[in-house]
Chain A
Amino acid sequence: MKDDILLAVRNVSLSFGGVRAITDVSFDIRKGEIRAIIGPNGAGKTSMLNVINGFYHPQEGEILFHGRARRRMKPYEAASQGIARTFQNVALFKGMSTLDNILAGRTLKMHRGFFWQTLRHGPALAEEIEHRKFCEEIIDFLEIEHIRKAPVGSLPYGLQKRVELGRALAMEPTLLLLDEPMAGMNLEEKQDMSRFIIDVNQQYGTTIALIEHDIGVVMDLSDRIVVLEYGHKIADGVPDAVKNDQKVIDAYLGVAH
C-alpha cells in the first residue's frame, strides 16, 4: 500500500556558478510515508527542498510529481499542486495574528473575487467563516487556542514553529516539506513537535519529507532516510540500515586518512 511513489527525484544536479550544491541525486518519496533527508551542514538538504518546491531550477535531471515530470515551475505552482513547506528560520507573516497567518494558508482555497471582497457580505463572508472553521480545527489540533489573536512576532520560538506548521497544514498539502522543524527546541518542545508530525502523517495521511539534525528524532520518526554529503547521495534506506552504513558513519564522524 505504501508502494505508490508520490514524488521522484531523478538525477538532479544543481549548481550556482561554479559551486555544485547537488550532484546527480535520485530518490523517491512514497505516498503516506515520513521521509527524512539528513546530512552534515552544507550537504545540500535545503537546496533539495528548494528544488522540490520550485525556488531553484536544477540544471540537470527531472522531478516527477504524481508520476508527471516537471522541469521548471514557480513556487506558487508547487503550492497549487499541493506541496507545502516550513522554513528553517521561521518565515511567518510577523505583522499578522496567528489566526490570520493560518487563514493566509487558505488563500488558494478561497475564490471570491474582488467585488465580493469589497462588500464582505454574502458569499465572501460565508467563505471567510467556512475557512475560519477549518482553521479552528488546525488550531485545536496544534493546541494553540490561547494565542489565536496574538501577533506572531511576539510569540516564543517554539510556538512560532507550531504556527508555521499550522499555516502549512491549512493548505491541505499532499506533500509537506519540513525544514528542521525541531531546530533550537528543548526536549519537551521536540516531543510535542514529533507528536504533531506523526499525527499529521497518520490522521491526515499527509506525506512528509523532513530535514533534521537530531538523529534520534530522525531514527524514531522516519520510515526511510536519504543521506546527503557534499551534494552526493551516500545512503538511502530504512533507519536501521542507514545507521549501520559505513559511509554514513564516516560522513558524520570523520574518517582517518
Chain B
Amino acid sequence: MFYREVGQFKTTYAADQAIFPIRQDRIGLAIILFAAFVLIPLLGGEFLIASVMIPFLVLALAAIGLNVLIGYTGLISLGTAAFMGVGAYACYKLSTIFPQVNVLVWIVASGFVSSAVGVVFGLPSLRIKGFYLAIATLAAQFFLQWCFVRIGWLYNHNPSGAIEVPGHTLFGIPVTGPQATPITRYYVVLVIVVVMTWFASNLVHGRIGRSWMAVRDMDIAAQLMGIKLLPAKLLAFAVSSFYAGVAGALMVFMWLGAAEPEAFNINQSFILLFMVIIGGLGSLIGSFLGAALIHVLPIIVRFLPDALGVPVGAATVEHLTFVITGALILFFLVVEPHGLAQLWRIAKQKLRVWPFPY
C-alpha cells in the first residue's frame, strides 16, 4: 500500500542504475539518516548513545569490511579482529608520535596501515580457497595478536600492556579521551560510518563490485572476462582491512577509550563473522542488521524484565540473555538461511503486492 513503485517510470538508464531506484526506499533512507543525526542525539540518553549506538556503528563498519571479503568476493577470513587491532594500534602510535595532527587524519591513516597488512595476509588467497583460506587467515589472527602483546613499542611500553587514548580536540571540541562527550563521539563515528558505507555501496554496485562477485561466483569465467584474480582478491583484502582498521581505531578511540590485546582476539573475529552470516552475505544492509542483532539484542533482552516489571535476579538475567539471544539467532537462521537481509527483501516484496499474495 505504502510501498509500491507503480507509476514511477524511469526514463533514463541513470535512474534505473541508481542504487535506490524506488522512491519509497529513498524516503526510508532519509528518515533513517534524520533519526540518526537528529532524533537520537536529541532524545537518546547517554546510555543509548555511548553503549548502544557507538558500538553498534563501529561493529557494523567492521562487518561491512568483512562482508566485502566474504559476502562479495567469497574469501573466508577469520582475522578481522586482528585487522581491527592493526588499525587501533596504528592510530595509537601515530597519534602519540604526532599528537598535534588532527586525530581524524590518523583514524583514516590507520585504515591504510591495516590495508597494507591485509594485502600481505591476503596473498595466499590466490592459491587456497574456502576453509583452507580461513585457516590461513587464522595465522594473521594469532600472529598479529602476538605482536600486540610482545612488541612493547606498539603500546609505548605501557606497564599495563594496554593502549590508553590521550585527549584530542577537533576545532577546540574534545573528541577523544575522558573529556569528550558521548554526543561528540557519536557524531564523529556516525559521519565516518555513513561516508564509508556510501563508498562501499558505490564500490559494490560498480565495475569493481561486479568483478568481486564474478570471482566469488565463478572464478574461471571471471578470468575469461579479463578479470585478473590476484589483483581483484588483493583489492578485496585491502578494502576489507581498511574498513576493519578504521573500525578498530574508532573502537578504541571513540568507544572503549583504552584497549588490551585481548579486545582483538579470535572471539571478536567470530562475532563479526556471525554478524555477517546472520545479517546476510553480500548485503550492506545485512551488515547493519547483523550488528544490531548480535550487539543490540542482548542489551534489549537484559533490560526487558525490568521494563516489564518482572522481578528476575541479575545473574539470571545474564544467563537468560545468552539463552534468548542464542535461540533467536538459531530461529533467524532456520527461517532464512540467507540472513536478515533476505528476510528484509522478502518483506519488501510482500509489501509491494499487499494485500494480494503475489
A residues near B (Cβ < 8 Å) are 53, 55, 74-76, 78-80, 84-85, 87, 91-96, 100, 103-105, 107-108, 110, 112, 114, 117-120, 124-125, 128-129, 132-133, 136, 167, 171
Complex Cα spacing A108 to B13, Å: 21
Using CB atoms, name the residue of chain B closest to A164. B221
Cβ-defined partner of B17 (8 Å) among A95, A96, A117, A132: A132
Asked whether any CB of chain A lies closer than 8 Å to the CB of B35, the reply is no
| B202 interface residue (CB < 8 Å to A) | yes
Listed A/B pairs (7) with beta-carbon separation below 8 Å: A76-B227, A76-B228, A104-B214, A117-B208, A118-B202, A118-B203, A120-B206
- Per-position binary interface string of chain B over residues 1-32, scored 1 when its CB falls under 8 Å from any chain A CB and 0 otherwise: 00000000000111011010000000000000
Q: Inside 8 A of A118's CB, which chain B residues have their CB?
A: 199, 202-203
User: Are B210 and A107 in contact, CB atoms less than 8 angstroms apart?
Assistant: yes
Chain A CB within 8 A of B224 CB? yes
Q: What residues of A have a CB within 8 angstroms of the CB of B13 in the complex?
A: 129, 132-133, 136
Across the interface, do B223 and A104 meet the contact criterion of CB distance under 8 Å?
no
B225 A91 Cβ-Cβ under 8 A: no
Chain B interface secondary structure, helix, strand, loop or mixed?
A: helix
Q: Are B207 and A107 in contact (CB under 8 A)?
A: yes
- A79 vs B220: C-alpha distance in the bound complex, in angstroms? 12
How distant is the Cα of A107 from the Cα of B208 in the complex, in angstroms? Answer: 9
- Residues of chain B with a CB closer than 8 A to A96's CB: 210, 213-214, 217
* Residues on A with beta carbons closer than 8 Å to the beta carbon of B16: 132
A229 → B minimal CB distance (Å) = 27
Q: Which of B191-220 contact A (CB under 8 A)?
A: 199, 202-203, 205-208, 210-211, 213-214, 216-218, 220
A92 touches B208 (CB 8 A): no
Q: Do the beta carbons of A167 and B226 come within 8 Å of each other?
A: no
Q: Does B87 contact A (CB under 8 A)?
A: no
Q: Is A120 a contact partner of B202 (Cβ separation < 8 A)?
A: yes
Option from B19, B202, B213 in Cβ contact (under 8 Å) with A93: B213
Closest chain B CB from A234 CB (angstroms): 29
A75 and B213 contacting across the interface, CB-CB below 8 Å = no
Q: Name the distance in Å between A103's Cβ and chain B's nearest Cβ.
A: 6
Besides A76-B228, A129-B14, 19 other A-B contacts (C-beta < 8 A): A53-B224, A76-B223, A78-B224, A79-B224, A91-B220, A93-B213, A93-B218, A93-B222, A95-B213, A100-B210, A100-B213, A104-B222, A107-B210, A107-B211, A107-B226, A117-B207, A118-B202, A125-B17, A171-B226
A100 to B211 CA separation, bound complex (whole angstroms): 10
Q: Are B226 and A93 in contact (CB under 8 A)?
A: no
B298 beta carbon closer than 8 Å to chain A: no
- Per the bound structure, the CA–CA distance linking A78 and B14 in Å amounts to 32
B282 at interface (Cβ–Cβ under 8 A)? Answer: yes
Residues in B whose Cβ lies below 8 Å from that of A132: 13, 16-17
Evaluate contact between A93 and B206: CB separation under 8 angstroms: no
Instruction: A171 to B225: give the CA distance in the assembly, Å.
Output: 7
Chain A residues, CB < 8 A from B207: 107, 110, 112, 117, 128
A94 to B216, CA, bound (A): 9
- From B17, B226, B235, A76 is in contact (CB under 8 Å) with B226
For residue A129, which residues in chain B have a CB less than 8 angstroms away from its CB?
Answer: 12-14, 17
A107 & B216 in contact (Cβ 8 Å cutoff): no
Residues of B within 8 A of A95 (CB): 213, 216-217, 282
Closest to A170 in B: B225
Check A92–B218 contact: CB distance below 8 A. yes
CB <8 Å contact, B217 and A107: no
- Whether the pair A108, B226 counts as a contact (CB closer than 8 A) is yes
Q: What is the distance, in angstroms, from B96's C-beta to the closest C-beta of chain A?
A: 30
- The closest CB in chain B to the CB of A167 belongs to B225
Residues of chain B within 8 A (CB-CB) of A167 are 225
Within the complex, the shortest CB–CB distance from B14 to chain A, in Å, comes to 5
Chain A residue nearest to B206 (CB atoms) is A117
Complexed CA–CA distance, A114 and B204 (Å): 11
Residue ID in chain B nearest A91 by CB atoms = B221
Using A95-B217, A132-B13 as known contacts, say yes or no to A104 and B206 having CB atoms under 8 A apart. no
CA distance A112 to B199 in the complex (A): 15
Residues of A near B235 (CB, < 8 A) are 114
Residues of A within 8 A of B282 (CB): 95
CA distance A104 to B216 in the complex (A): 13
Of the residues B199, B206, B223, contact of A75 by C-beta under 8 Å: B223
A95-B282, A171-B225 known; A125-B210 Cβ under 8 A: no
> Are B205 and A104 in contact, with the CB atoms below 8 A?
no
User: Measured between alpha carbons, how far is A95 from B215 in the docked complex, in Å?
Assistant: 11
B206 touches A124 (CB 8 A): yes
Inter-chain contact A117/B203, CB cutoff 8 Å? yes
What chain B residues lie within 8 Å of A74 (beta carbons)? 223
CA distance A230 to B214 in the complex (A): 34
A75 engages B217 (CB within 8 Å): no
- When chains A and B are docked, how far (Å) is the Cα of A128 from the Cα of B14? 9
The answer for the CA separation of A250 and B229 in the assembled complex, in Å, is 44
Residue on A nearest B227 in the bound complex, by CB: A107
Can you name the residue of chain B whose Cβ is closest to the Cβ of A103? B210
- Chain B nearest Cβ from A186, distance in angstroms: 25
Contact partner of B218 among A91, A110, A125, A171, CB < 8 A?
Answer: A91
Name the A residues within 8 Å of B203 (CB-CB): 117-118
